[in-house]
Structure formats: C-alpha cells, structure tokens
Structure 1
Amino acid sequence: METLDGSQLCFPQLLNASCRKPMRTQSGAMLFYFLCFISVLTGALNLLVIISISHFRQLHTTTNLILLSLAVSDFLVGLVVMPCDIILTETCWLLGDLVCAVYYLLPFIIICASAASMALISIDRYVAICYPLRYPTTVTLKTVRICVCLCWIYALFVSIILFYDHLKQPGRYNSCYGECVINIAGDVDLVFNFIIPISIIISLYLRVFVVAISQARAMRSHITAVTLQRPQTVSAKWSELKAARNLGIVVAVFLLCYCPYYCVSLTGGKILIGSSAEALMSFLMYFNSCLNPVIYAFFYPWFRKTIKLIVTLQVMQPGSCEANIL
C-alpha cells in the first residue's frame, strides 16, 4: 500500500484526511505558462476596449455602452477569474470551505453578466434594424445605462441562488481537506444562464437576419435612385446592417464557446465544479473573453485607430477625447 509523507500532503497533520498536493508535470508546466499568457492577453486586450470607449466621445453610443459592459466582464475574466483558476489547479486550497463557496461566486456573476450583455446586444440590433425610426427615441443612453445595471444585478441575484445551498453548508462536496469542489443547482444555472439569454439571442438575431437580408436586397435593386435622392439615409442604413453583421459574429463566437458547457446539462449529464472536465469547458468559456477584442480589431476600424492612439500615448494629450475616430 502506498504511503504518503508530509511533503506530499496539503495538511501533513491530517494524514488520513488531507488531499495530495498537485504535482506539476512538464506538460502541466507548459499548460500553466500558456494559461498565464492567455490570462494576461485577455486582460490587456479588453483594457484597450474599455479605455477606447470610455475616453473618446465619438464612441459614446448606446451600442458601444453595451460593448463596454461586455468588455468589463471580459476584463475581469482575464484579471481575476483565470488567474484564480490557474492558482487553484497548482496549489492546495488553504482558505476554508466558506471562502471556497464565495470564491466561485465571482466567475458565475461575470459569466452571467456576459450572457446578459449578449442578450442586450441582440435587443439593440433588433430595434435598430426592425424599428429604425423608433430606435433614436427608444434606445437612449439613459435607457441603456439602466439596462446594463439591471444585467449585473440580475447576474448577482442568479449567482446567489445557485450557491445558496452551498453557502449554507460549505464543504459538503469536498472529499478531503485542501480541496475546493462545489456543486450548484444545475437546473437553475441552465435556465437563467443559458436557456433564457440564448433564446433571446437566437430568436432576435434570426429576425434581424431576415430583415437585414430583405433590406439589403431592396437597397441593391434601387441603389442608384435612392443614393441620388437620400444619400445620408442609405449610408446610415448600410452602417446599421454592417453593425448587425459584426455583432452577429461576436454573438456566434459566444455561442460556440458557451454551448459545450451547457449542452452537458441539456443531455442530462452532471458537471462537478472543480473537476478536470469542468475546468476544460470553463476555460473555453473564458477564452471567449479573449476572442471578443480580437474580433473588434478585425471588423471595427475605430478600434484599430484607438489602439494606435493608446499605445503611442496620444490619449494623454489635452483634447484627445475629441479626436475624430469614426
């Protein structure tokens, strides 16, 4: 029978109840440094998005305000969530069962806020494309600010419900001391963090897609006459369609990254929080936070311009917030 010395245990004084210390292999070390790189890259890229939208006044639009909320949640993923997950896989949990439960609250709040922000993006594009005349009066900066705040309140409320039982009895799923494993109300998580936002996103974007296709065909068939009569109207309409396409790509990547985690629950399977399978699928969800700014760089010229201004420190100059970005 294998025996363990104190150096192999998280709590040497608890010989029969302590967990083993995680052992890092060569491949594990390479994975560790790769995850650290992704974490830093995620935080840095999303910080550029936050600075861009916050600093330049031309970018203070309703749609960009929702993107700012999404960038904040993505930034927190890179700054807090991913580093904590990396540390958890490399060391024993020494902070107690209650802190373990509270520790997992943050990722769920952030993930839920991201899903809610994606739903807001879909609503914003739906109103802009399907009801363009109502959009300026219906979707105002004040309205969007309220909706963004409600998204984060919703995320906090849902996360507390998910962890309610575990907060009442911390450590109930730990098999040994030095472990941080929890189990959540999977049905609640599935409904509020996946089914509801995904249903909103898919249904509205399908409607946006149908309307956008019909509008694009109509504008192509009458492009010469309409351009001569109402050039500004045509330009604005094409701008809205292009924005719908770009944000549709963001939503599609979001679905690809989030679906594997929740499809397990949809098929009746269970995921133990803290297991290797959960860690892999969670990382895929977190990796979405790194992909969003990359998508912006490819499809938004304003983001490429602001990156140059930020990196060259031109944003420190007086009046730089009034720069012509669009």
Structure 2
Amino acid sequence: MILLFIDGVGLGEESDHNPWYVRPTPHIDRLLGGRSLVRSAVGQIGSDMVLLETDASLGVPGLPQSATGQATIFTGRNAPKAMGAHQSGLPFQRLRKWVQTDNIYLQMERRGWRATFLNCYTPEYFQRPATRRGWVSVSTAALLSSREPVRMLSELLAGKGVYHDLTRWTLARKIPDVPVIEPETAVDHLLDVARQYDLVIHEYFLSDFAGHKQDENLMQTVIDHYDRWLGALVDRKQADDVIVLVSDHGNSEDIRVSTHTNNPVPTWIIGDAHTWREIPHQKWDLTCIVPLLLRLVEKRRITTS
C-alpha cells in the first residue's frame, strides 16, 4: 500500500488559471483516459482506478488549512472540528498532541502491521531551534509518536528513502555533494522500501509552496516531476499494489490567488476502484482516508496469507 500525500492540490476547473490543466501532464492524462487532474475527471476510470471528489472543509467555515487538513488525513478524525477552526502551517501544541495520541502509524501498530514514512531528514533539521521547541509538521509529529525509525540522509543516499522534492534538487543547493536523481529513480527507491512494509507514505509539499508564491516556473517543475513520478510508479508497481493519492486543501490549481481555495481535493485510488465503497461515510471527505488505508491493507494481507 502506498499513500502519496501531495500538499495544496485541489480539483479545479479546465481553465487558463489552472496549471494542472494548462501544463503538460502526459502521464496523468494517460492514466485518466485523456483528462487532466481536474474536477471534470472525477469518476471511475477503468476497472481498477477511481478519482473521488473529496471534501476538505469538513463542515467548518473558512478556507481549509494545512495543519488541520493534514491532521485529519493522518488520523482519520475531524481535526478542524476538534480544534474549533481550520489551522494553518505547523500544528500548535494542542493539535500536535492530538495527532500524537492516535494516528495511522499507531493504528497500524495495534494491528501488528507496519507503516513507514518514506521522506528523509537531514541532521540539521533536528538541530534547528524551532524543531527542538516542537515546531514540526503533522507528518513528522505522527511519525515521532510511533516506533518506526526516522529516515535520515544516510538512508536517502543509500536509496532507502525519498526526499520531499523527489529528485533532491533543493537539497543539492545546500549540500552540493548530494547527487540529483530523476523522478523515475525515486520511484525505484520507493518500491524497494515498499516490499518490507504494509504501508509506505510520501509527502510532497512544493506544490503548496509554489501556489502560495504564485511561482509559475516552480509550478512547471512541480508538475513535470510529479507527473513523471506518478506515471513511473503506476507502471512499475506490482499487480496487487494499491496507490492512494490525496491532498489536504486546494491551492496550486488556481494560480490567480496566493491563498488556499474551497475546491474539493482528489482522492485518487489506483489499483482498487471499489474498496472505498466499503468505508462508512455520508460524504467522502478527509476523515475517510485512514479507514480506507486500513481496509486496503487488511484485504491485501488476507489475500496474500
């Protein structure tokens, strides 16, 4: 099972202000039957793939935000409702502790299953004063609450993890000795790790960063790299692998604004187009992701046992 969390990608319109529609995405278009990653593409695509429109607002007024959206994805619980509002950026202490009490890693551990975070960290990250004070992302807070070890630079260079930007290009700016790789090579590294776990998770956040900056050049790099990464992953995965791609809120699908959007976000299931129907829900939203992942892992373990 592979969870791809891509930050700040909503299902937008087929319009000139949507980079995910305007920029070439040959692999995404191929997978979606000739359509871009836009709202009009929602539905079942073939026998083993489905794109679901996903509510990121979760019944709470205001624009969906990163901290509470990610907390919901990683816990299966409605974080903005629990906090009383959408919260942006890195989680404050109350939300951070809320995430650490129960999340996908802990739920997997209780079942005797293994989940891992594919992203690798540098030693410098944990030496930062802000990190020492607890200012970490939801994904990092969830990981640190579990027994699963953190992947560091040594694992990255050994091909036992993936950097947040896929190709390491942002890391090479800081550490010139780090070799830059192609998105397809990063896929090989993901799949090597995936064979040892029930679930692997990768987080990509440059999409949200580019949207906030309204940086069209960066957006072009983001879309090109992610399109190649996703295309290679689908082509190289094993027949029984399932990929779930999800975002926390809209942003990069509307280059006209520097804020988040109220657009629904994608849940793109590749490899099993039907299990989502087994998840109890009144409306498909971000609280459905953890139950979906657990059900998919359970089904795979039953099949392979």
TM-score, structure 1 normalization: 0.30
The structure that is strand-richer by fraction is 2
The structure that is helix-richer by fraction is 1
**Higher RCO structure (Cα 8 Å, ≥6 apart):** 2
